[in-house]
Structure 1
Amino acid sequence: MTTIAIIGAGPGLGAAVARRFGAEGFAVGLISRHQGRVDALADELAAEGIEAKGFEANVRNPDSIAKALEEVTESLGPIEVLQYSPLPQKDFMRPVLETTPADLEGPVEFSIYGPVAAVHQVVPGMRFLGENRGTILFVNGGSAVKPGRNVTGTSVAFAGQAAYAQLLHEALGEEGIQVSQLVIGGGIIAGDPEKGPEALAEHLWNLHTKRDRFRVQVSED
């Protein structure tokens, strides 16, 4: 059995993705800053017949991310899919003229250093799975492609993450590892047929299985 590791797992999109991939036989590694929350979600999934386990990590600490992903592999099996989708902190979202260099440290650690650490941890194992198996999925808000003057930290950091993901898509694609990005404009809306967690989870499943594009964008409209 192979595993999906979801960094930033929670009761919305993370849970929906866990159920979608779990239904296909994946074990699910749930990674969050809050051990109790992912443990509770893992129990819910286990009651539905999905093998899942929670792991604690701080995405702003590269060593913490690497350790959690190593534990996922040891506990659940090889990581075939990595999803990077933690929710940014509210204090990252300041107006552009009020944003100082110090205000950008957190967003950059969160959206660039974290993903880089995660990718370096999982790619060697994905190479052993064989061609057209491994997948890395990035989930971002709309400011990744259209910056907002009142959300400067995420706009700058998400743009950097998007550039990193695009470069990975080109480089790792040559090895048969898929790298894709899901951009969600305006936020997730529970129950919505296009922007609800289940609909978005289906997009992520398709990015993994079809392997035919870099980006899917779900607009605000």
Structure 2
Amino acid sequence: MTTYALVGAGPGLGLAAARRFGAAGHSVALVARDRGHLDALTAELAGADITARGFTADALDPASLTAALAEAATALGPVEILQYSPVPRADFMRPVLDTGADDLDDPLTFSLRSPVTCVNAVLPGMRELGRGTLLFVNGGSAVRPHPERAGTSVAFAAESAYARMLHDALAPENIHAAQLIVPGAIRPDAEHSSPTALAERLYDIHRTRDAFRHYAEPLPD
């Protein structure tokens, strides 16, 4: 059995995606900061007969991510699918004219250093399997910078560039890197941007293994 590892586990998209990949037969490794939060999510998945465990790590602490993903692979099996989709902090989204150089440190760690760390942690196992999927979920500022959200605009653009290079470099090894852009809010009543719809879209991206960038909804004008 291989493992679906989710960095940024939460009760919305994270739980829905964990259900979808778990239903397909993968063990589920949930990575987040709060142990109580993780215990609640794993208990809910266990109720659906999905093998799941929680591993504590912080997206602003790359070393903790390396340790969590190594522990997950040991406990549950090699990571075949990695999804990186933690929710950025509100203070990452300051206006560009109010953003200093130091204000970009945490956004860049969150959206670049930590994804690079996670990929490097799981890539050896994917190479041993001979297959793998790397899923990156970002907001619309990844492709259309927003002057009121400078931190995420800069950091998501860096993450996008890194993920795109992975898509090209790893394709010959049967490792597929892809990005899903969710331009607006994730809402339970949204046709294409509900947690369930997005989880299905992520699973389809993993299964079809074609383009790099996908959109949940068209970008607004």
Q: TM-score range by the shorter chain?
A: over 0.9
State the distance in 1 between where 2:190 and 2:82 align.
25
2:203 to 198, 202, 205: 205
Q: Deviations 1:118-163 (Å, cap 9, x if unpaired)?
A: 0000001000112xx3000000000000010000000000000000
State the distance in 2 between where 1:83 and 1:191 align.
23
Q: Equivalent residues in 2 for 1:36-185 (5 A)?
A: 36-130=36-130, 133-185=131-183
Query: Cα offset for 1:59?
Result: 1.3
Query: Cα offset for 1:218?
Result: 2.1
SS in structure 1 of the partner of residue 173 of structure 2: coil
State the distance in 2 between where 1:135 and 1:148 align.
29
State the distance in 2 between where 1:145 and 1:187 align.
16
> 1:35 matched to which residue of 2?
35
| 1:10 counterpart = 2:10 | yes
> 2:185 matched to which residue of 1?
187
Residue segments in structure 2 that go unaligned for 5+ positions in a row: none
Query: Cα offset for 1:35?
Result: 1.4
Cα RMSD, aligned residues only: 0.9
Structure 2 counterpart of 1:175, one-letter code: E
Q: Deviations 1:38-61 (Å, cap 9, x if unpaired)?
A: 111001100110000111001111
Moved more, 183-192 or 62-71: 183-192
> 1:216 matched to which residue of 2?
214
**Large movers: runs of 4+ above 6 Å:** none
SS in structure 2 of the partner of residue 25 of structure 1: coil
State the distance in 2 between where 1:116 and 1:88 align.
17
SS in structure 2 of the partner of residue 158 of structure 1: helix
Query: Cα offset for 1:215?
Result: 1.0
Structure 2 counterpart of 1:9, one-letter code: A
Residue segments in structure 1 that go unaligned for 5+ positions in a row: none
Q: Deviations 1:59-78 (Å, cap 9, x if unpaired)?
A: 11111000000011011111
Query: Cα offset for 1:191?
Result: 2.7
State the distance in 1 between where 2:203 and 2:34 align.
25
SS in structure 2 of the partner of residue 97 of structure 1: helix
Query: Cα offset for 1:177?
Result: 0.2
* Residue identity (%): 53
Number of aligned pairs?
219
